Structure 1
């Protein structure tokens, strides 16, 4: 069968070079099980001009009993654990909870209209769909009270909020189609196993696909992330030649009976993972106006997804930092797109901005905050080499940024 990507010798020595600042490499509280995935940093200015601002960091907690650790710092280097957004027993009533069941992901805290709002991802306890929720507090250290219902549902993840100077807030998110297309592909191959040799060119990938579809009637009944882990090796076979695979599917569809054509088109539809943005109501609990598609995966390095976005305004332009490719391999990285307004259109840099190094793998889910002297700093997560994967520890790293007329560079 196909060898997993993080076990391939040729992928063990990434060639990209940058001096990532290593901020946190261990959990600061016993309730933190997985480190600093999807880090989001908020600067809270002090009322007194003589006092330094405080910084607050939130991070993903997956299925840990305590969700979303809150850390505090005065200098962005030394951090102290202060609380959880949702301590055990305080999670939203609508959200699934429990080991291997819940997925509390990608929290962001923002100060909007004198209240602190945390937007986050969790699974609906009935449908298991990923939804975007909201919790509010008068203090960045809590306690936070969740809204009774999600702000947005329907397999959506990675909420980001951009707050303009006039107070207008925009919610950015992505459709988590990369969670959908592998299942649609397995359905297609299970019903039409003869397509395996048409779609996969190497014996090991053909054997891998045959093995996965043999497991599929059982695997499709599992919890979402267990199902993902079983499909991961087949996902890697596809994204290794993603553009060619997508084009091959399109060509193959023209030669198939109508029901198979429709199934193929459905797979292709979900192989695109668009990001959207839409204005939020004044209280932040609902979307208003029309949604706008911001970007989707259309560059070779992004493979089957874009996700984990953050928008910052610099020099009268809007810079969208985002992650692409597969989070559990060393091919994951961070890209940049630029626009003249919050809703775009956004123009992508053609190559990734940050990639894996020999020391740190799969840099992703960036956030940007101004340091004590106003200098912009990008925070991100990354894995220890060879340790990428779901529920593996992710460290907190940082990269100072420099914005020029030509674009953005690591400072």
Structure 2
């Protein structure tokens, strides 16, 4: 048994995603001192080094300063990024795409406008790609209804074979309807295990200690989706407001990466929302996530 410590990156790195690369591991996150899309690299998942901005240039129809929640996926040897950015001539956010030959980028967005922009319901944020067992590609996102006082829905829609366009019509998956979720759900992530589709999402305000990760399950992408009554991952005496997670596999283990505030420092910029890891355990339709821990000795260190 080896010891490793959370947070694995003790600086502001909100809305993180981790992917395996040929050289080790890559993490990307919301804009910050590291650029439009902050990036880190690691050999062991617990020691991280800053990398160049993965999206150094934005298209002319948007503007910097609010580039949020990037996620990437490999499609036929090319990498596609989905990211949130200000909509054209709007205070609302939208989703766009960028592509690169390497997972770390640099990514280039050549679109003439957004991929998703639900301006009538607050805009669109927090896009997350998913590849199903048959190879089809799908995109999750939420309408930013809490920005304009309407419901927030997590939606799901099929993507084109190259991952850069939407196909068909969106399907509504879940909205805020649990007390713990407050006025919103956001930050979706989809994972398939043994024929079950597991949706992970966050609820409540990101700048609240009550921010948490929820879970819903379905037998097919078309639903119906059944939510757990209570959140799956909540704050404790070492981490406040954990959320906006994504999942990744390391051998036979599945990990959740998420951000969390330090207790007593919710909403502050220093250190801000730091990057944490917890192991995910599946048992049929049920899921358990290890609580946030500073010192981790129950499993070998991530490799």
TM range (shorter): 0.7 to 0.9
Q: Distance in 1 between matches of 2:266 and 2:222?
A: 33
CA contact (8 A) 1:20 1:397 kept: no
Q: Distance in 1 between matches of 2:156 and 2:36?
A: 26
Superposition RMSD on alpha carbons, in Å?
1.9
Quote the residue 1:246 is aligned against. none
Among 56, 64, 87, the residue aligned to 2:26: 56
* CA deviation profile, 1:258-290 (whole Å, cap 9, x unmatched): xxxxxxxxxxxx1x2111000011232221112
CA contact (8 A) 1:112 1:167 kept: no
> After the TM superposition, which of the residue ranges 66-75 and 114-123 deviates more from structure 2?
66-75
Quote the residue 2:55 is aligned against. 86
SS at match of 1:290: strand
Q: Distance in 2 between matches of 1:361 and 1:324?
A: 13
TM-score between the two structures when normalised by the length of structure 1? 0.65
CA contact (8 A) 1:277 1:343 kept: no
Q: Distance in 2 between matches of 1:306 and 1:291?
A: 17
Q: Distance in 2 between matches of 1:363 and 1:22?
A: 11
Query: Which segments of 5 or more consecutive residues in structure 2 lack a partner in the other structure?
Result: 291-303
Q: Distance in 2 between matches of 1:391 and 1:176?
A: 23
SS at match of 1:146: coil
Among 263, 275, 279, the residue aligned to 1:385: 263
* CA deviation profile, 1:71-119 (whole Å, cap 9, x unmatched): 12222112222221222xx22222123xxxx311000011112111110
Identify the structure with the greater strand proportion. 2
- 1:8-407 paired onto structure 2 within 5 Å: 21-26=6-11, 35-44=12-21, 46=22, 54-61=24-31, 66-87=35-56, 90-97=57-64, 102-148=65-111, 149-154=113-118, 155-181=123-149, 270=150, 272-371=151-250, 373-389=251-267, 393-405=272-284, 407=286
TM-score between the two structures when normalised by the length of structure 2? 0.87
CA contact (8 A) 2:197 2:221 kept: yes
Q: Distance in 2 between matches of 1:339 and 1:20?
A: 34
CA contact (8 A) 2:80 2:164 kept: no
Q: Judging changes above 3 Å, is the alpha-carbon distance between structure 1 residues 144 and 274 closer, same or farther for their aligned structure 2 residues? A: same
Q: Judging changes above 3 Å, is the alpha-carbon distance between structure 1 residues 20 and 311 closer, same or farther for their aligned structure 2 residues? A: farther
Aligned residues: 281
> Post-superposition shift, 1:131?
0.8
CA contact (8 A) 2:29 2:39 kept: yes
Q: Judging changes above 3 Å, is the alpha-carbon distance between structure 1 residues 284 and 167 closer, same or farther for their aligned structure 2 residues? A: same
Quote the residue 1:247 is aligned against. none
Quote the residue 2:295 is aligned against. none
> Post-superposition shift, 1:356?
1.2
* CA deviation profile, 1:27-71 (whole Å, cap 9, x unmatched): xxxxxxxx1100011123x4xxxxxx6221110116x58211221
* CA deviation profile, 1:177-221 (whole Å, cap 9, x unmatched): 10001xxxxxxxxxxxxxxxxxxxxxxxxxxxxxxxxxxxxxxxx
Query: Which segments of 5 or more consecutive residues in structure 1 lack a partner in the other structure?
Result: 1-18, 27-34, 47-52, 182-269
Q: Distance in 2 between matches of 1:80 and 1:316?
A: 37
Q: Distance in 1 between matches of 2:40 and 2:93?
A: 25
SS at match of 1:344: coil
> After the TM superposition, which of the residue ranges 286-295 and 140-149 deviates more from structure 2?
140-149
Q: Judging changes above 3 Å, is the alpha-carbon distance between structure 1 residues 325 and 20 closer, same or farther for their aligned structure 2 residues? A: farther
Q: Distance in 2 between matches of 1:410 and 1:127?
A: 38
